[in-house]
Every structure is written in structure tokens, then in C-alpha cells.
Chains A and B, each alone.
Chain A
């Protein structure tokens, strides 16, 4: 489902984010991407979502070469992904129901149907009763769960979670991880990046990056 073939990414002559990375993630896998800050985890995730393009090598997602993907095709690729960011990037001027509906409205879904599905997604992360609250009224952990609801509302085939537990206490982090594992259990491919070794306790497959180089878990 996701393939990296000798992928390198250089932002400038002395800023290499990824160096000759090759890996393969199959459909339905739950994969952790581990490494310290600056290891290249975010760059790798951005490439899957076509936010960044490789300087060399090939990134294949859903059989499409990201390097060759034309600009009009990018939104349609992203609609098949669920993106979760370290800073949740919720829109503070609207309530969490409206935030959760956004991916569906962006894809042209009718408002009534979008609202129904957004409520179902919020219910899955245990926040339906806060549907009318605004993001700033929620705790960090709750905000991250809203971000998860927003990521899964369009029933993505892949969830990319970039440091979803950073800045959260252990209880809130566990709730977020439990939610992600629940979606993996119904067949969604999940890639979760973290620099927190505690998160990796009992984890299945872990891909390790350091200084932009793959040091384990590629296969």
C-alpha cells in the first residue's frame, strides 16, 4: 500500500531530511515510526500525503507515484488518507462538529449527511456530547481526539498520525492510542510516528529512523 524506493529528501545542500530510505507497508498494518526529533519522521509522512516530494527515489501510495502525481490529483489522494498532526490544527472559529465535518464538505458531501457522519465519528472518540464546544474549550487530549474524529470521518484507507501523543499526559496519550488501535482493528492501515519510547511498549512493527536514515523495521 505504501512503498518507499531509495527515497532521499534534501531541503538544501546541508539539510538532508531523508537519505536512501526504502520500506514497504502493507494494507491493514499498524506501523510505528520511531526516532528522535529531526530524524525525518515528519518528512516521511508528508511524502505519503504529497505535502513534500522526494528529491530522488520513488514513493508509491495506492499504486500512484507521488513524485509523478499531478497537482489536480493531490486532493483526491488526500481524501483517502486520514491526517493527524502533532498540533491538531483544528479551526478555532467553529465548533468541533463543524471541524469534524470539514473533510466531508471539502469532498462535496451533502451537509446533512456530513453532519450525521461527523456525529458518528465524534461518538467513536467519546466526544459526541461536546459537539457544540469550540476547540479552545477542550483539553489537549480532547482536541487530539477531535483531530482523530476528523481524520476518520471520511473512512480513510490509511491514517497518518504525526506525533499524536506529544504534549499529552499519559492518560490522554493512552486514550488517543487506543482510539487509533481501534481503527486499525477494523482494517485501516495506521502509521504512527513518535519519539516517545513508552508508546512503543508492546508495539508490533516499528520503523526506526535516525538522521534521515532507516535503521530498522523496513521490511
Chain B
């Protein structure tokens, strides 16, 4: 075995031995760090589940075009070839809805038939309803903006509405959530580093004599620093594992509640735990944060001891 590997083996064993000497304190620190890590891990799990859903949502936007109330029926119907021209290249179904039919539909759906009868004349305009295909994802939703703009510029057109706006809102909301999660993760990452920093500081103080004696006996700085680095990384790693375990366990009762909600929308949506690769990445990140905390603490406190 090479001396380098032996030194690391020794440092790892020394770190484990130190942690075993004060298991209660180690466990408490692991819990504190785990709580800090659990929040961003839960957020990441949520985003990981929601992102593909939002990306694959079938938009099939419906564009509703309302003709000016002053336009005649002929003028309204004359718009259809122009609309087909604008939608050229897109797979679209165009349906003309006469104002009489619109009023009948409203009466039927709203249950306000009697109230609407008192209006005397039909307040609704002629309209077109266009079902667009080939705009099936949130990413494509922006393409509709151009079409809407062209339609809005046609004569006799009063308003154009697109009902896919909510998909854009969802995408924007996810963007905000992602940014908020990043900020939260950075903040809690700093918390993790601070907790590990303090843990290592206390260990350096506790092992002050051992450090001093080791130096007198010919220990290099690396020999003295390494066990603390391993301690920090182990603390981060264990806390990361506890946090991931807690988030994964929490999915079970959460999915029970989600299932009821999703059923209302005829969906079978469930939150799934992160994949093995993502979990390994988060564990590595946790260990890395612990290592950074230990590194900063060792550099600061051993430098003071010198």
C-alpha cells in the first residue's frame, strides 16, 4: 500500500474514532445540518417532478377571436380566408361561432337564461374559435404571440384571446421557483458550512494537545489537517443521507394527499423520489459543503495555534 493511501486511511480512521468518542454531539450536528439540507432537497425533488410535467403539458391552445359588434355577418365571415392565411403552415381547426349560438351556449352553461332574456338584444359578438395543433409544449407557446398579433391587426377584429397563457404562467412560475430554490440552497449551504466550521473549531480546541504533540513529533500540516477534513466531509455526507431519507419518506404521505387532488383532474400524478444519480450528486454536494466548512475552520484555527 502506498504511503499516501496509508496516510488517508489513517486520517479517515482518526476522524471516525473522534466522532465515535462523542456520538451524541455528532448526531446532533448531523440533525442540524440535515434540517438545513432537507429544505432545498425537498424543493429539488418537487421541481424534478414538476419540470417534466410542465414541459410535456399539451397546450393545444385555443385562440378565440371576437369580431367587432358593429361588423355585419358577411364581414365577420369574410375574415375566415384571412385567418387561414395567417395560420398557413399550422395545423389548425377554425370554427365560426355566430353570436346567436354564443348566446345560446351562455344561457345553457351559466343557468342565467332568464336574466339574459331581459337584455332585449344579444350583447355577444360573432366569433371564431381556433384550435391550434403543433404548439404542444410550453416552449412553443411563444410562437402563438406572433399569430395573435397578426389576427388582432385585421379589420373588424375586436379582441383575440389565447387560453394557453396559463402554461406560460406556469413556466414563469417554475422559473421563479427555481431561482428561489437556488437562493434558498445557497443560504442553507452557508448555514451548513457555518455549522461544520463551528464543529471543527471545537474539535481543534479539544485536540489542541494532540495537534501540538504531533507537530513536535514530526507531523506535517497535511497529516494534522486531514482527519478534520474527513470529519467535515463525513458530517456533510451523513447529514445529506438523513435529509434525502427524510424527503423520500415524506413523499409517501404527501402522495396520498396529492392522489386525491390529482383525481379531480383525472390525473395519476405522483411525486417520485430523485433518481440514484441525482441522489449521489446531492450526497457528494453535502460532503463537499462539509469539506469546505472543515477547510475554512482548519485554516483559520490551526493558523491561530501556530
Contacts and interface: CB of A to CB of B under 8 A. Distances in A.
Nearest to B21: A93
A51 B73 CA distance: 102
Contacts, number: 47
A102 B214 contact: yes
A91 B1 contact: no
B121 interface: no
Contacts of A105: 10
B218 A76 contact: yes
B180 interface: no
A39 B230 CA distance: 44
A202 interface: no
A48 to B, nearest CB: 12
Interface string B83-110: 0000000000000000000000000000
Q: Classify chain B's interface size.
A: 10 to 19
Contacts of B223: 75, 106
A17 B131 CA distance: 95
Contact of A78 (B1, B6, B212, B218): B218
B220 A103 contact: no
B219 interface: yes
Interface string B2-19: 010011001000000000
B-side binding surface: helix, strand, loop or mixed? helix
A145 interface: no
- The interface centre, meaning the residue of B6, B210, B220 with most chain A CB atoms within 10 A of its CB, is B220
A108 B7 CA distance: 6
B114 interface: no
A83 interface: yes
A78 B209 contact: no
B210 A91 contact: yes
B112 interface: no
Contact of B209 (A91, A107, A110): A91
A75 B6 contact: no
A96 to B, nearest CB: 14
Given A89-B209, A89-B213, A91-B210, A108 B218 contact: no
Q: Classify chain A's interface size.
A: 20 to 34
Given A105-B10, A108-B6, A83 B214 contact: no
A195 interface: no
A53 interface: no
B219 A75 contact: yes
Contacts of B21: 93
A103 B218 contact: yes
A72 B220 contact: yes
A79 interface: yes
Interface in B194-241: 209-210, 212-220, 223
A79 B218 CA distance: 5
A106 B214 contact: yes
Nearest to B216: A83
B213 A102 contact: yes
B169 to A, nearest CB: 60
Interface in A49-88: 49, 51, 72, 75-79, 83
Nearest to A46: B216
B217 A78 contact: yes
Contacts of A103: 217-218
Given A89-B209, A91-B210, A106 B217 contact: yes
Given A78-B215, A102-B217, A110-B6, 18 more contacts: A75-B218, A75-B223, A77-B218, A78-B217, A78-B218, A83-B217, A89-B209, A89-B213, A91-B213, A93-B210, A102-B214, A103-B218, A105-B10, A106-B217, A106-B218, A106-B223, A108-B3, A150-B217
21 contacts: A51-B216, A72-B220, A75-B215, A75-B219, A75-B223, A76-B218, A78-B216, A79-B217, A79-B218, A83-B217, A89-B212, A91-B209, A102-B217, A103-B218, A106-B223, A107-B218, A108-B3, A108-B7, A110-B6, A150-B217, A154-B218
